[in-house]
Every structure is written in C-alpha cells, then in structure tokens.
C-alpha cells in the first residue's frame, strides 16, 4: 500500500527542528541505526523500508524507493527509515567522566564526539544550550548508533558547571594555553572535560570555572585540531 500524502507531510515536517521539538520525534535512517535503536529499547512511531527482509525483521511498512526518497533526509536514501520518540535520559551521576560541549555547532562534530564518548567509555555528555540540536538528522546519522548508548543531557539552565564546581568535580578545558596532554596526570573519575566551539573555543562563562587546561601537542604546522578530533584524542587518553 503506497504511503499517503499525509504520512509524507508528517515525516517531512521532522526535517525541521521546530516540528521535532513540537512532536517529540526524530528520524533515523539505515539498518544499523534501526537495529541499535531497537536493541536499546527506543520507542518507534513508524518504520518504512524498501526491502521486504528489513520489513519482516523490524515489522515495518514496505514502500517504494521513490517514496523513500521523498521522506529521507539524505541525498541518497537508505533502504529503511524510522520515526522514533525522543530519548529519555537518566539524571547526571557522580563518579563518571563527563564531556561538556560548550557551543559545538557542526552536526558532524557533535555526532563524532558522541560516537567517540561511547567508544572510550565516557558515559555522560552534557550539551550547553547553544550547541547544535541533538536530533538534527546529520548529528543522529554521524553517531552511527551511539546516540542510543550514551546518556546525553542539555544544560538548559546553564548551571551545570557551577553545580559541578560545588560537587568538587574537576573541570578541565581543552585549550591552546593548557598543559601538554601526555605530561598531565590522569584526572580522577569525577571529571568534566570541556570542548569549546569550533570558532570561539571555550566561552567566558565556562572559563571562569575551569580548574586546568589541557593541550594536545602538535608536531606539524596546523593551527589547531578539529574540535571532534581533539575531544576524541583526550577521551581516548583519559578513558582507560
């Protein structure tokens, strides 16, 4: 049965942040993301696939390739797309390494940092209010499923770093003024690592609360590292 015009309109509305927020839904595309979402217990609103095998595996609705292209966020649509309820995350817990993202604007960078946090055992990510939206389709796709494995909260009130200070968490910022990563002692578990925005680095408000800064020493002539790469290297070094 062809997908209806109303269904197409409803799904396409989720390409926009306004409607994702209003409806509490987001889009995932590709069999791997669908599998990760299913395994994590995510709640599905709808699932469509052009492949009968995928429909059978995930109890989806079979549609044609040209219909999938109409609802996809990708230039080249995947064989399956699901509409999923936005995730419910756990409260922030002490005793864990936390990544605080202070103004990350690029969707690919945010997705990569989530993926790296998952890979290196950083179970908690906190997003400053001015970060790119978590459910932006490019963010979701670039996490490669890690969005379903890591606890991600938004610092809606802008008070997380103040609260961390009061809780005696060590706050370390990635910055060109910092100590060399390889010469620093590994921080304790109650750690908040701040990665600043691609253009402006760590904000002034966050800087006022930083205990120490860390620098990744470079051997070549690049001015600086991409935010996602820098964050990934530090998380790997301190994630053991």
Q: Share the mean pLDDT of the chain.
A: 92
Q: Are strands 44-49 and 191-196 parallel, antiparallel or unpaired?
A: unpaired
Q: Residue range 207-215: average pLDDT?
A: 95
CB 171 within 8 A of CB 208: no
Q: Are strands 44-49 and 80-85 parallel, antiparallel or unpaired?
A: antiparallel
Q: Residue range 103-127: average pLDDT?
A: 95
Q: 122-148 pLDDT, tens per residue? A: 989 999 999 999 999 999 999 999 999
What domains appear along the chain, each with residue ranges and CATH number? Answer: 5-85 (3.30.1330.30), 98-237 (3.40.1280.10)
Q: Is the pLDDT of residue 24 over 70?
A: yes
Is the overall model pTM greater than 0.75, yes or no? yes
Cα–Cα distance for residue pair 138/135, rounded to 1 Å? 8
Q: Residue range 231-240: average pLDDT?
A: 90
Give the three-class secondary structure for 110.
helix
Cα–Cα distance for residue pair 199/60, rounded to 1 Å? 42
């Amino acid at each position: 049965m062809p997908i209806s015009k109303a269904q197409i309109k409803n799904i396409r509305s989720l390409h926009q942040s306004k409607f994702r927020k209003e409806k509490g839904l987001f889009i995932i595309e590709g069999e791997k993301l669908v599998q990760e979402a299913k395994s994590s217990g995510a709640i599905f609103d709808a699932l469509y696939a052009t492949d009968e095998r995928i429909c059978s595996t995930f109890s989806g609705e079979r549609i044609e390739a040209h219909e999938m292209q109409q609802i996809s966020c990708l230039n080249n649509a995947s064989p399956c797309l699901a509409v999923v309820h936005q995730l419910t995350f756990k409260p922030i817990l002490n005793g864990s390494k936390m990544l605080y993202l202070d103004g990350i604007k690029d969707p690919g960078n945010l997705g990569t940092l989530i993926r790296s946090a998952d890979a290196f055992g950083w179970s908690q990510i906190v997003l400053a209010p001015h970060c790119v939206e978590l459910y932006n389709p490019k963010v979701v796709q670039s996490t490669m499923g890690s969005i379903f494995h890591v606890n991600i909260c938004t610092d809606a009130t802008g008070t997380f770093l103040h609260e961390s200070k009061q809780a005696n968490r060590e706050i370390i910022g990635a910055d060109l003024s910092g100590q060399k990563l390889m010469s620093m002692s590994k921080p304790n578990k109650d750690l908040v690592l701040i990665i600043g925005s691609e253009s402006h680095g760590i904000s002034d408000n966050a800087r006022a609360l930083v205990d120490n800064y860390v620098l990744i020493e470079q051997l070549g002539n690049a001015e600086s590292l991409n935010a996602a790469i820098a964050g990934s290297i530090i998380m790997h070094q301190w994630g053991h």
